[in-house]
Chains A and B, each alone.
Chain A
Amino acid sequence: NAGVTQTPKFQVLKTGQSMTLQCAQDMNHEYMSWYRQDPGMGLRLIHYSVGAGITDQGEVPNGYNVSRSTTEDFPLRLLSAAPSQTSVYFCASSYSTGYSYEQYFGPGTRLTVT
């Protein structure tokens, strides 16, 4: 199993550009989520999904869109990049039922918006 994969690992954007951060998992997890990590602020939830076709907003959703057309993929779209979106982005997934509820994280994407 590859686990949770994210692409790209690094990205530099100019203000106003759009892009999609890719996330995929091969563990058949129902739950997937996107976080951003900023110094001194921990991980903040952007969007999450409890299954294909179902998404909802987290703590800091403004400027980001998501969709979940398959169980495996959960892309994050930046509509018009702003310097405030400079951050490290993590995708995570977990089972919805069962004992663990452990979230498995991807390696992260470091995004810089100039």
Chain B
Amino acid sequence: AQTVTQSQPEMSVQEAETVTLSCTYDTSESDYYLFWYKQPPSRQMILVIRQEAYKQQNATENRFSVNFQKAAKSFSLKISDSQLGDAAMYFCAYRSSLGRGTYKYIFGTGTRLKVLA
């Protein structure tokens, strides 16, 4: 069964600095999708970035980028120039194909990011 592991329950970063959140996953599939979601105190889940496994190029969205290592099954999130508004819980997620057009998403346990002024 596919699993998603976030080994850092909590991380801290100084404002304007860079931080990397780790995510590893276990799968036997060759084609899949990976996501990072942000959950601020408002509780709303917000998509930060997505990565297709067949793409070798790492995805980038403004200050957010990923380091996707397919062979190592690693999908880390880098936040550059951290801002106070980046403080939130971050979840890594994997989209698993179940065949016959069905699929499901598997989430990690989350990393709480604190941004220090």
Contact = CB atoms under 8 A, between A and B. Distances in A.
A11 interface: no
B106 interface: yes
Interface in B94-117: 95, 101-110
A41 B109 contact: yes
A33 B104 contact: yes
B50 A105 contact: no
B104 A42 contact: no
A56 interface: yes
Interface in B1-37: 6, 9, 33, 35
Nearest to B50: A102
Given A40-B9, A90-B45, A107-B44, A45 B101 contact: no
A50 B99 CA distance: 12
Do most interface residues of chain B lie in helix, strand or loop, or is the interface mixed?
A: strand
Interface in A61-113: 88, 90, 92, 96, 100-103, 105, 107-108
Nearest to B105: A103
Contact of A42 (B44, B50, B108): B108
Nearest to B45: A105
B35 A102 contact: yes
A48 to B, nearest CB: 6
Contacts of B84: none
B44 A105 contact: yes
B15 to A, nearest CB: 27
A66 to B, nearest CB: 14
B102 A50 contact: yes
Given A42-B110, A43-B91, A108 B43 contact: yes
12 contacts: A40-B9, A42-B107, A45-B104, A50-B102, A88-B43, A96-B103, A101-B50, A102-B50, A103-B45, A103-B93, A105-B44, A105-B45
